[in-house]
Amino acid sequence: METGGGPALQPLLCLAWVAAILPIAAAALPIPAAAGGRLLHQLLCAFSSRGKTARASSASSSSKARFTVPQKFFLHFYVVGVVVTTTLLLAIWFYAYMKMTPLVPEPSSYSTIASHLVGSSNSFSLASFWSSRPREHKYRVWRTVFVLILMEIQVLRRLYETEHVFHYSPSARMHIMGYLTGLFYYVAAPLSLASSSLPEAIQYLRYQIAEFIVKGRARMPDLVIDPSHLLKPLLKLGWCQWIGAVIFIWGSLHQIRCHAILGSLREHKDSDEYVIPCGDWFSRVSCPHYLAELIIYSGMLIASGGSDISVWFLYLFVIANLSFAAVQTHKWYVQKFEDYPRSRYAIIPFVC
């Protein structure tokens, strides 16, 4: 059975991630200046600049400042991320609860087989199809729920930190292209994590809405939520999910610490003065919060089972984007502070 939009969703997401990754990869390559390599690198640096790096670039060209927005607009990213992730999580969790529980195959009855042979009504065929899904498929849907829960934790925490931990300077700006990229990311990332199960979940919801329209509320079965059925399937998932969750928590704890350090650097909220951050992983790299983010998404990738190509492309974008931003931030630190520790790397110790 074809699931509505199923074959098209993952390829579209992969193409979107490739389109986002290619400019970063091209800017990082040693392309000769005559071939436009330097111009491409400068454009990407300008587009990705924010905060201190945006202030440095806009100081050299006042015209660039017109294409910037306040850095406090970072809040918009996480509001969008929470809305999209919560919507996807509720839709797929409801589908999993209704049609993917318990996590054992249900034997097909004679009447079900006969109805397929004689060509019964479409609604009955759909109901039979959902009830006879194989065990592995049910696990995949519940894995999607598990990974979306991790994403929900991530975006909710980042929303809280943006509002209560970071104190953005009134003059802190970011390029409009970086702002649009952030909005794109927090729509495409949860969609990529949900892409393997979303089309069938949407079709199931459409089927339920059609049933409601035809039968009316009085003839629809009462929905009784059993908390054990909501959570028990998650506890039956495999070792990949729990290893991924441990890695996710490890990265999250370090990112919380690093963000707290960065948030405490500017004691006066109206001041533009910067100091060298120290503590936690700052002793090794200039952007440990980015390193922690790589670890967080590594945990999500492992928890997803690694079978969805769109999740791999999401992960590649996270690596490319954060590595490029970390290198630019590291260069800014080195140029800004004469006593900046030369032993620090940009994002990954002993690598870059």
Contacts 24+ apart (CB under 8 A), 78-82: 78/155, 78/156, 78/158, 78/159, 78/162, 78/186, 79/159, 80/183, 80/186, 80/187, 81/151, 81/155, 81/158, 81/159, 81/186, 81/189, 81/190, 82/152, 82/155, 82/156, 82/159
How is residue 24 annotated by DSSP?
Answer: H
pLDDT score at 305? 92
pTM over 0.85: no
Q: In tens digits, what is the pLDDT along the chain, a chain of 352 residues? A: 344 444 588 999 999 999 999 988 887 766 665 555 566 666 666 666 665 655 555 544 444 567 788 888 889 999 999 999 999 999 999 999 888 877 654 444 333 433 444 444 444 455 555 455 677 888 999 999 999 999 999 999 999 999 888 877 777 788 888 899 999 999 999 999 999 999 999 998 888 888 777 766 666 666 677 777 788 889 889 899 999 999 999 999 999 999 999 988 865 555 567 788 998 999 999 999 999 999 999 999 999 999 899 999 999 999 999 999 999 899 999 988 989 999 999 999 989 8
3-state SS, residue 304: coil
In the chain, % helix, strand, coil (3-state, to 5) comes to 70, 5, 25
What is the token pair recorded at 221? 């079965």
The CA distance from 96 to 145, in Å, is 8
Long-range contacts of 272-280 (CB under 8 A, 24+ apart): 272/55, 272/169, 272/171, 274/52, 274/336, 276/333, 276/337, 276/339, 276/340, 276/341, 280/254
Give residue 100's pLDDT. Answer: 80
- For 103, residues 6+ apart whose C-beta sits below 8 A from its C-beta are 135, 138, 139, 142, 233, 236
Q: Residue for token digits 């670890």?
A: 295
Q: What are phi and psi of 166, to 5 degrees?
A: -85, 145
The phi, psi pair for 82, rounded to 5°, reads -65, -45
301 touches 315 (CB < 8 A): yes
Cα maximum dimension of the chain? 81
Say what the pLDDT of residue 107 is: 47
CB contact set of 149 (below 8 Å; sequence gap of 6+): 89, 234
Return the pLDDT at 108: 44
